[in-house]
């Protein structure tokens, strides 16, 4: 596939930071299998984000071994050049390409892994490796360590006997984005804005959910994105109550709200944005009340984002605001504090208020620090995505609110003195959304 990393400066900086952080340890990363889609054809391959982060290698059948305290710290095992296969699946960088363009100090064909690994692991006590994800690799690794231990006896050396989850070091680095990474995410969000606003503009009763999805995919790809960073959710009416609805096969109905959760992936980094709008361009009073309740929670939660606060404070602000609205609108009865304490709001808001965002839509990085939530730091990027979901069959709520699902999701960068909402200019006020809907039918 790709002959060089899309953003070489980013992966070079990432690799350097990680090698420094590893100290005397070694680390091993394994590309996931290429999954079959049907018969002998495969899904489009997506490399593991850990490997993309460190070297930008996009092809399957690859292992990355890092040994910072050795002469040749970056070792890659890759698909070798194979002209007959390359006719079908594209040019492979091969062993030479790994060294020339992807930062390998040493590279081998992937078939050499079992032969090379025992001596390459020799003398490293601690190995950063994600166990129990790939049984074949787990077994190959155990065999390699056994060989290293046996052959090392004579000179007092052995293979690793302490295994460290990549979350401990690598995922902490991935959690804090560099300014170059932030620039790429800014662009991913800018493309996402165009996609959402074009989807709003083409919305009308009778348009199918998949037509909005197709427009969104078209905009993502036509601006250089890889595509959607996760399956786009386009739920009209009660379909929006299904949180990860991706069937997207129904017509949009006059009088419904459509909820769209879609984010462009660019250079392996993804946006994650949700907007909701009335199919006919005008919210009913009840839809508007729910929309404004979610908008108020979205704004309240974004307002608390800044370095030094605990991660849970964002969710607390959103729950406080949503619960007050639920009581005011008659969705729930009782005392707001009590409803929060017994989590009664979960009937209509059953997910968290957000997650880390980066190369993975639900990005790596810890949410806790000891016994409390993690403290926010500059360079973290997270989503803020409160919602209210009322099933059409829920007879406990006033009729006018049934069959409405609304989530409003923004991508927030924590800065030195506060936050920057990367998606601030994607239409979100009632007026902006209503003005855009149906403005350019196609």
Q: Which residues bind ligand GLY (CB under 6 A)?
A: 230, 261, 272, 355, 361, 385, 409
In terms of Cβ atoms closer than 10 Å to its own Cβ (0-12, 13-18, 19+), residue 359 is: buried
* Shortest Å distance, C-beta 301 to Mn ion: 13
* Shortest Å distance, C-beta 273 to ligand GLY: 9
- The DSSP string of 343-380 is TGGGGT--S-S--B-SSSSS----SEETTEEPBP-TT-
Per the DSSP assignment, residues forming a β-bridge with 383 are: 411
Our answer to whether residue 165 is catalytic in this structure is no
Choose the contact partner of 45 out of Mn ion, ligand GLY, none; CB within 5 to 8 A by kind. none
Our answer to whether residue 272 is catalytic in this structure is yes
Rounded Cα distance, 14 and 381, in Å: 17
Nearer to Mn ion, 291 or 356 (CB): 356
Our answer to whether residue 389 is catalytic in this structure is yes
* Shortest Å distance, C-beta 358 to ligand GLY: 13
Nearer to Mn ion, 117 or 273 (CB): 273
What SS3 state is found at 202?
coil
Nearer to ligand GLY, 272 or 324 (CB): 272
Instruction: Please state the separation of Cα 422 from the chain's center in Å.
Output: 15
Our answer to whether residue 407 is catalytic in this structure is yes
Task: Report the chain's C-alpha Rg in angstroms.
Answer: 25
Our answer to whether residue 223 is catalytic in this structure is no
Sole binder of Mn ion in the list 25, 272, 324, 411 (CB under 5 A): 272
- Using the rule CB under 5 A, is 318 a contact of Mn ion? no
Name the active-site residue from 218, 362, 377, 440: 362
Our answer to whether residue 385 is catalytic in this structure is yes
Choose the contact partner of 363 out of ligand GLY, Mn ion, none; CB within 5 to 8 A by kind. none
Rounded Cα distance, 107 and 407, in Å: 47
Nearer to ligand GLY, 182 or 231 (CB): 231
Name the active-site residue from 209, 256, 289, 385: 385
- What's the distance, Cα to Cα, between the start and end of the chain in Å? 34
Q: Phi then psi for 14, rounded to 5 degrees?
A: -60, -45
CA atoms within 13 A on the CB side of 200: 26
Q: Which single residue brings its beta carbon nearest to ligand GLY?
A: 261
Rounded Cα distance, 393 and 157, in Å: 67
What SS3 state is found at 60?
coil
Our answer to whether residue 417 is catalytic in this structure is no
- Using the rule CB under 5 A, is 265 a contact of Mn ion? no
Q: Which stretch binds Mn ion (CB under 5 A): 187-195, 265-273, 281-289, 425-433?
A: 265-273
* Shortest Å distance, C-beta 272 to Mn ion: 4
Choose the contact partner of 325 out of Mn ion, ligand GLY, none; CB within 5 to 8 A by kind. none
Rounded Cα distance, 39 and 434, in Å: 46
DSSP state, residue 310: B
Is residue 145 within 8 A of residue 133, CB to CB? The reply is: no
Per the DSSP assignment, residues forming a β-bridge with 369 are: 372
178-200: b or e for each residue (b if 16 or more CB lie within 10 Å)? Answer: eeebbebbbbbbbbbbbbbbbbb
Nearer to Mn ion, 287 or 423 (CB): 423
Name the active-site residue from 291, 389, 401, 419: 389
Choose the contact partner of 434 out of Mn ion, ligand GLY, none; CB within 5 to 8 A by kind. none
- Using the rule CB under 5 A, is 411 a contact of Mn ion? no
Our answer to whether residue 261 is catalytic in this structure is yes
Query: Which residue in the block uniquely carries the two structure tokens 């997650």?
Result: 355
* Shortest Å distance, C-beta 159 to ligand GLY: 39
Helices (H) and strands (E) in the chain, counts: 13, 21
Our answer to whether residue 425 is catalytic in this structure is no
* Shortest Å distance, C-beta 274 to Mn ion: 5
Choose the contact partner of 360 out of ligand GLY, Mn ion, none; CB within 5 to 8 A by kind. none
Nearer to ligand GLY, 45 or 230 (CB): 230
**Angstrom distances, CA of residue 418 to CA of 308, 365, 424:** 9, 20, 14
- Please give the residue ranges that form the binding site for Mn ion (CB under 5 A): 261, 272, 383, 409
Q: What residues are labeled active site?
A: 40, 244, 261, 272, 351, 355, 362, 385, 389, 407, 409
């Amino acid at each position: 596939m790709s002959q060089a990393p899309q953003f070489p400066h980013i992966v070079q900086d990432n690799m350097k930071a990680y090698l420094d952080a590893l100290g005397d340890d070694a680390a091993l990363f394994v590309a996931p299998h290429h999954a079959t889609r049907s018969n002998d054809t495969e899904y489009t391959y997506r490399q593991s984000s850990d490997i993309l982060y460190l070297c930008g290698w996009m092809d399957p059948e690859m292992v990355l071994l890092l040994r910072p305290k050795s002469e040749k710290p970056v070792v890659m095992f890759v698909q070798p050049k194979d002209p007959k296969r390359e006719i079908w699946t594209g040019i492979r960088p091969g062993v030479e390409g790994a060294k020339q363009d992807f930062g390998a100090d040493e590279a081998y064909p992937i078939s050499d892994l079992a032969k090379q690994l025992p001596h390459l692991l020799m003398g490293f006590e601690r190995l950063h490796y994600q166990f129990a994800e790939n049984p074949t690799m787990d077994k190959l690794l155990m065999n390699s360590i056994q060989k290293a231990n046996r052959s090392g006896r004579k000179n007092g050396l052995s293979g690793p006997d302490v295994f460290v989850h990549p979350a401990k070091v690598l995922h902490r680095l991935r959690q804090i984005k560099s300014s170059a990474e932030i620039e790429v995410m800014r662009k991913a969000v800018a493309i996402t804005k165009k996609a959402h606003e074009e989807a709003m503009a083409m919305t009308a009763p009778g348009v199918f959910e998949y037509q909005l999805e197709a427009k969104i995919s078209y905009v993502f790809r036509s601006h250089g994105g890889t595509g959607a960073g996760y399956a786009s959710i386009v739920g009209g009416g009660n379909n929006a109550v299904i949180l990860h609805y991706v069937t997207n096969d129904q017509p949009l109905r006059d009088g419904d709200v459509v909820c769209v959760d879609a984010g462009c992936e660019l250079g392996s980094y993804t946006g994650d944005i949700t907007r909701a709008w009335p199919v006919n361009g005008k919210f009913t009073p009840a839809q508007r009340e729910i929309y404004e309740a979610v908008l108020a929670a979205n704004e309240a939660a974004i307002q608390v984002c800044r370095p030094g606060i605990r991660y849970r404070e964002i969710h607390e602000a959103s729950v406080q605001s949503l619960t007050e609205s639920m009581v005011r609108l008659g969705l729930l009865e009782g005392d707001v504090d009590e409803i929060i304490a017994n989590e009664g709001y979960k009937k209509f808001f059953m997910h968290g208020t957000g997650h880390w965002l980066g190369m993975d839509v639900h990005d790596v990085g810890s949410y806790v620090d000891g016994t409390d939530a993690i403290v926010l730091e500059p360079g973290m990027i997270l989503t803020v995505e409160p919602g209210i979901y009322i099933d059409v069959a829920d007879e406990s709520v006033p009729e006018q609110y049934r069959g409405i699902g609304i989530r409003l999701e923004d991508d927030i960068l924590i800065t030195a003195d506060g936050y920057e909402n990367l998606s601030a200019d994607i239409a979100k006020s009632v007026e902006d959304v209503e003005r855009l809907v149906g403005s350019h039918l196609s």
